């Protein structure tokens, strides 16, 4: 549409204003060309645009190379990083102040991307991951974007990987944090779903939780913390832009939750303070407000060999192999004597093959 209306042929830079809630800019798309900025909402060019860049972003140069938003949870304030050459112009959204930095160690970015709290500078067909405040580059970069951001039959990060059949799918744990992000764990990988629009993406667990890199037995979220159970130990991570292990953890399951034995699955329902711990054919309800923890219920399950469990506003799902069982509430689950009809895991849920 831009090309049809303005005949521009290309753009210099673009970003989505995603995290700023109260300025009227939330979920707007900004596209930059030469000395002009175009602003879109719901794929429609807004009235009054294009405008000079300096009218919307005072102090910004023309003919930019790249731009990316940086929310205050990851930068010092809600900001936009504008790239031109080796200079980075940090635009403070609330104050409209501009601070210019030079990061000579970072290649000249022709595009920039924020994805799952990480920042990527693209240059040629390569990319480099960087820290949005310091520009620091950690790890072995640059890397070939075709190996990570694209699907090619004979080239790339996933080359040789076979997508599992849905009936072969086996989950170890599922949880949804206080920000509404849902995490699925399977062996040494995890998948994260923010929204259906963002999609489901797989990463090594070591990338976010290095202490449990080989996998977990059960996971639940409570009060901005993620509880990961592995063997006889509990690892508690504090939420934020990135999860961090709390001091003095891990601790024994017995010490933290006042139960003994292996844990198969666990869940906490929204706005509740009870952890439901599945151990073989039994489910135990544990009061998370009590110190030490108190076991409120210890009941038999109508199912055995549960792999993972999850509770949301839609109810409870217990996963067993490539199937899951639904219950409307913990009370109905506890009172159930007969297992309900199972549902098959679908390709839409976990990117598996039918």
Q: Per-residue pLDDT tens for 209-268?
A: 999 999 999 999 999 999 999 999 999 999 876 789 999 999 999 999 999 999 999 999
Distance CA 143, CA 150 (A): 13
Instruction: Give the per-residue pLDDT at 32.
Output: 95
Domain covering 166-350 in this structure, CATH number = 2.110.10.10
Distance CA 40, CA 60 (A): 19
Predicted local distance difference test score (pLDDT) of residue 7: 66
The domain segmentation of the chain, as residue ranges, is: 2-147, 166-350
Residue with tokens 């979920």: 27
Render pLDDT for 310-352 as a digit per residue (tens, 0 to 9): 999 999 999 999 999 999 999 899 888 888 999 998 877 776 7
Binning pLDDT at 50, 70 and 90, where does residue 199 land? Answer: low
| Residue found under tokens 């890397």 | 143
| Predicted structure pTM score | 0.72
The mean pLDDT of 292-304, rounded to a whole number, is 93
What band does 68 get if pLDDT is binned at 50, 70 and 90? very high
Q: What percentage of the chain exceeds 90 in pLDDT?
A: 64
pLDDT the model gives residue 159? 45
If we measure between CA atoms, which residue out of 174, 203, 199 comes closest to residue 278? Answer: 174
Question: Given this structure, which CATH class describes domain 2-147?
Answer: mainly beta
222 touches 268 (CB < 8 A): yes
Per-residue pLDDT, 195: 66
Distances (CA, A) of 179 to 73, 209, 215: 13, 18, 23
Q: Within 13 Å and on the Cβ side, how many CA atoms surround 193? A: 16
Q: Above 70 in pLDDT, residue 158?
A: no
């Amino acid at each position: 549409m831009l090309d049809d209306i303005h005949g521009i042929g290309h753009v210099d830079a673009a970003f989505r204003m995603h995290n700023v809630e109260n300025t009227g800019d939330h979920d707007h798309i900004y596209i930059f060309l030469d000395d002009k900025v175009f602003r879109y909402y719901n794929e429609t060019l807004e009235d009054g645009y294009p405008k000079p860049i300096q009218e919307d972003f005072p102090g910004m140069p023309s003919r930019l190379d790249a731009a990316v938003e940086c929310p205050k949870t990851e930068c010092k304030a809600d900001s936009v990083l504008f790239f031109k050459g080796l200079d980075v112009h940090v635009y403070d959204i609330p104050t409209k102040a501009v601070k210019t930095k030079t990061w000579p160690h970072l290649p000249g970015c022709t595009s920039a991307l924020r994805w799952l709290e990480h920042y990527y500078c693209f240059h040629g067909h390569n990319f480099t991951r960087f820290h949005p405040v310091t520009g620091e580059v950690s790890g072995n970069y640059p890397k070939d974007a075709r190996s990570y951001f694209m699907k090619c039959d004979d080239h790339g990060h996933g080359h040789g990987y076979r997508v599992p059949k849905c009936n072969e799918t086996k989950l170890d744990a599922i949880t949804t944090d206080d920000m509404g992000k849902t995490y699925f764990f399977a062996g040494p990988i995890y998948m994260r779903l923010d929204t259906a629009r963002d999609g489901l993406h797989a990463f090594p667990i070591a990338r976010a939780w290095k202490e449990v890199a080989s996998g977990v037995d059960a996971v639940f979220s409570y009060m901005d913390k993620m509880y990961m159970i592995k063997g006889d130990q509990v690892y508690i991570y504090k939420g934020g832009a990135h999860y961090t292990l709390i001091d003095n953890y891990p601790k024994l399951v017995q010490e933290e939750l006042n139960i003994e034995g292996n844990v198969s699955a666990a869940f906490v329902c929204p706005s509740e303070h009870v952890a439901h711990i599945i151990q073989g054919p039994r489910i135990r309800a544990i009061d998370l407000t009590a110190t030490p923890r108190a076991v409120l219920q210890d009941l038999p399950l109508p199912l055995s060999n549960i792999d993972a469990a999850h509770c949301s506003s839609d109810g409870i799902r217990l996963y067993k192999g490539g199937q899951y069982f639904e219950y409307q509430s913990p009370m109905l689950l506890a009172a159930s004597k007969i297992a309900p009809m199972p549902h098959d895991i679908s390709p839409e849920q976990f990117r598996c093959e039918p």
